[in-house]
């Protein structure tokens, strides 16, 4: 924006110096040219400001989309962790059940072996 202001000031100074040596018709043409140049500069500045606004809107939209995606990813990660913990708990329960069953089987086998040993001992003793 400062470059545009500086350009306009230089143009005004050049035209003012030029007008001092020109006829009234030349002065009107120069004034008209200066007005057209100022209008063109204003239009270009407006276009640049609109483009900058559009870029800011696009950046805001992209940021919002990125935040939404990050939130979704975190939610998915949380769901995955929850699922993994549930699976681990299920596996632990299954392992404990299997260990309990194995201990029951061992106890039954030990009891059967003790009974059999007792019977053999009684036979050996003649009872």
Q: Which of 76 and 4 is assigned the larger pLDDT? A: 76
Q: Which residues contact 26 (CB under 8 A, 6 or more apart)?
A: 19
Q: Is 46 in contact with 65 (CB distance < 8 Å)? A: no
Q: Which of 37 and 24 is assigned the larger pLDDT? A: 37
Q: Which residues contact 34 (CB under 8 A, 6 or more apart)?
A: 11, 12, 15
Q: Which of 24 and 87 is assigned the larger pLDDT? A: 87
Q: Give the tens place of pLDDT for each residue, 53-105.
A: 899 999 999 999 999 999 899 988 888 888 889 899 999 999 998 998 999 88
Q: Can you say whether residue 126 is alpha, beta or left, with left for phi > 0 and alpha for psi between -120 and 50 degrees?
A: left
Predicted pLDDT at 19: 55
Predicted pLDDT at 12: 66
How deeply is 34 buried, as exposed, middle or buried, from its count of CB atoms within 10 A (0-12, 13-18, 19+)? middle
Q: Is 45 in contact with 4 (CB distance < 8 Å)? A: yes
Span 27-48, mean pLDDT?
A: 79
Q: Which of 117 and 15 is assigned the larger pLDDT? A: 117
Q: Give the DSSP letter of residue 126.
A: T
Question: What is d(CA 106, CA 103) in angstroms, rounded to the nearest whole number?
Answer: 5
Span 33-61, mean pLDDT?
A: 85
- Tell me what the pLDDT averaged over the chain comes to: 81
């Amino acid at each position: 924006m400062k470059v545009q202001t500086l350009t306009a000031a230089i143009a005004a100074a050049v035209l003012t110096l030029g007008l001092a040596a020109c006829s009234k018709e030349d002065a009107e043409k120069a004034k008209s040219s200066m007005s057209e140049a100022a209008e063109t500069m204003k239009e270009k500045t407006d276009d640049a400001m609109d483009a900058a606004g559009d870029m800011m809107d696009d950046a805001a939209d992209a940021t919002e989309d990125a935040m939404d995606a990050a939130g979704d990813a975190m939610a998915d990660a949380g769901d995955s962790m929850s699922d993994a913990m549930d699976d681990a708990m299920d596996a632990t329960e299954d392992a404990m059940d299997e260990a309990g069953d194995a201990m029951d089987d061992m106890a039954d086998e030990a009891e059967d072996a003790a009974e059999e040993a007792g019977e053999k001992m009684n036979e050996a003793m003649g009872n």
